[in-house]
Amino acid sequence: MFAGLAAAGCAGVGGALYAGYLRASEAGPEAGFVFAGILALFILAAICTGVWLLFDENVAKPIQRISAAMRVKAHSDPGISIDLEQARYLGDLAPAIGAVTGRLASVMEDADQEVAAETSRLAAERAYLALLLTEIPVAIVLVSPTHQIMLYDGQSADILGQVHVPRLSSSAFDYFNEGDLRAAYDRLSGHGGEVEAEVRGARGNFSFRLKLKKLSQASGYMILIDSAESKLAPAAGRPLIYDFDLSEHESERAIEDRKLRDLSFAVFDTETTGLMPSKDEIVQIGAVRVVNGRVVVGEVMDQLVDPGRPITPASTKVHGITDAMVAGAPDAPTVVARFHEFAEGSVIVAHNAPFDMAFLKRHGQATGLAFDHPIVDTVLLSAVVFGATEDHSLDAVCARLGVVIPPEDRHTALGDARVTAAVLCKSLPILKSRGIDSFGDLVRETRKHGRLLKDMN
């Protein structure tokens, strides 16, 4: 390559000198000299441009694609294939990658079989524990030392739901009056064991008789609520929701300094009557929550919305929602307010977030709700992981990360929200491997690719 570059440069300069010589015989030596110099500069610039394009297409881009695919394979999906044909001009790199990835796939396959067996056993135990708790007329909530909820059962979900949407990692003060609960907690800290307390709901419209009990083998405390007094039927179908890693989190740190894995995310998608946020309307909102890098089973929002206008056949062809399906559904301001509550204290995540957020902010302004949450856009996340020149549609990103999109779920709000959440969860370990560990790090990297969203919209 370098010999060819030298030969092309010499030939170009020689040709320019000859052309200058011919020009000098007609217009004089000075004109010939200037002409030869300018022509040589253009020829050298053209050669460098050609080499740059060849290098970019055959070296730089393949290295970027292969490195991104290897990170996905190592940190997210060991079954994903790597197109080694891209490395055909990179010497022994392609065979070396093939050998390493083959060995990695073999090792991870053995590990996955062991993990699958253990996961199946734990899932059965979890289901059995949830069934047993349903039979006990006491609702249970486990709270971390920083007053974050790290476990709740089906009965407590229904009781807490009278005050606020039940959410893992949310503050206990979203449900119980902070002054009352802190006073009871101070008594518990001073006396040890357990204490009983009358605690008002956070909004002042309920009163709970609680028993607070210290956890002997872990940090944090337990809140027991007599569900018989709540006059609610047992929630047999509601799963047991927990994440004990929350006991180690510091919830008071600034968002920019917090680790990505420690954050709570509300991942959402909307289906609409059209593509103009200023004129069109929402017909469906779907959302899931991600805590500690995992989707929280049981914390889901899936709501049809009455747009107050006919849904065009073209829109129905995309998302399958008809006027008959939304008849009697709540209006957009009501559902947007529910999502605002669902996403409280979380980072909002969406694919092409400016489009979906435009609808939320319009209704938020009309109802006095501020959507001032931190936001992560998976379009920009894809640009950070795979490079700005790749296709960043949701289907393309899922294909690269090995996320399967069930055909029946595509272009449904909840289906797309679940897929976007899977993209987020698979991207977090890849980002960490690149040294992007905190939310501030991610913001700085995604800002470099902001133009993508402007072009997309």
Task: Transcribe 234-251 into DSSP letters.
Answer: --TTSPPEE-GGGGG--T
The percent of residues in the chain predicted with pLDDT above 70, rounded, is 93
Cβ burial of 15 (10 Å; 0-12, 13-18, 19+) is middle
How much is the pLDDT for 136?
65
Average pLDDT in the 434-444 region? 94
pLDDT at res. 247: 65
Q: Write out pLDDT tens, residues 252-303.
A: 567 899 999 889 999 999 999 999 999 999 999 999 999 999 999 889 999 9
Every domain of the chain with CATH number 3.30.420.10 lies at 253-456
* pLDDT of 151 above 80: yes
Asked if 286 contacts 413 with a C-beta cutoff of 8 angstroms, the reply is: yes
Site of tokens 């600034």: 254
Q: Over 90: is that where the pLDDT of 315 sits?
A: yes
Confidence label for 131 from pLDDT (cuts 50, 70 and 90): low
Give the confidence band of 360 by pLDDT, cuts at 50, 70, 90: very high
Q: Indicate if the pLDDT at residue 182 is higher than 90.
A: yes
| Dihedrals phi, psi of 230, to nearest 5 degrees | -75, -15
Return mean pLDDT, the chain.
Answer: 87
pTM value is 0.78
Parts of the chain belonging to CATH 3.30.450.20: 136-244
- Terminal CA-to-CA distance of the chain, rounded, Å? 41
β pairing state of 221-226 and 207-214: antiparallel
Task: Note the pLDDT of residue 233.
Answer: 47
Residues of the chain above pLDDT 90, percent = 50
Please report the pLDDT score of residue 75 as a whole number.
Answer: 78
- Is residue 78 classed as helix, strand or coil in its secondary structure? coil
Pairing of the two strands 138-143 and 221-226? antiparallel
φ, ψ of residue 393 in degrees (nearest 5): -65, 160
Q: Which one is predicted more confidently, 238 or 145?
A: 145
pLDDT in tens, 196-212: 999 999 887 788 889 99
Cα separation, 170 vs 240, whole angstroms: 16
Q: What is the pLDDT of residue 311?
A: 95
Residue with tokens 């200058």: 20
Interval 64-87 mean pLDDT: 79
- Alpha-carbon Rg for the chain, nearest whole angstrom, is 30
CATH homologous superfamily of 136-244 equals: PAS domain (3.30.450.20)
Is the sign of the CA dihedral 200, 206, 211, 217 positive or negative? negative
**At residue 443, what is the residue type?**
V
Q: Report the pLDDT averaged over residues 379-392.
A: 93
Q: For 17-69, where are the E strands, in sequence order?
A: none
- What's the token pair of residue 442? 């991610």
Q: Is the pLDDT of residue 20 over 90?
A: no
Q: Any residues with CB less than 8 A from the CB of 266 and at least 6 apart, and which?
A: 287, 288, 289, 339, 342, 343, 346, 347, 348, 349, 373
Residue 420 pLDDT exceeds 80: yes
Question: What does the pLDDT average to over 363-377?
Answer: 93
Q: Which CATH number fits domain 253-456: 3.40.225.10, 3.30.420.10, 3.40.50.9100, 3.40.50.360?
A: 3.30.420.10
What is the residue type of 112? D
Phi, psi of 194, deg, nearest 5: -150, 155
The tokens of 260 are what? Answer: 């990505």
383: which 2 tokens?
Answer: 């640009």
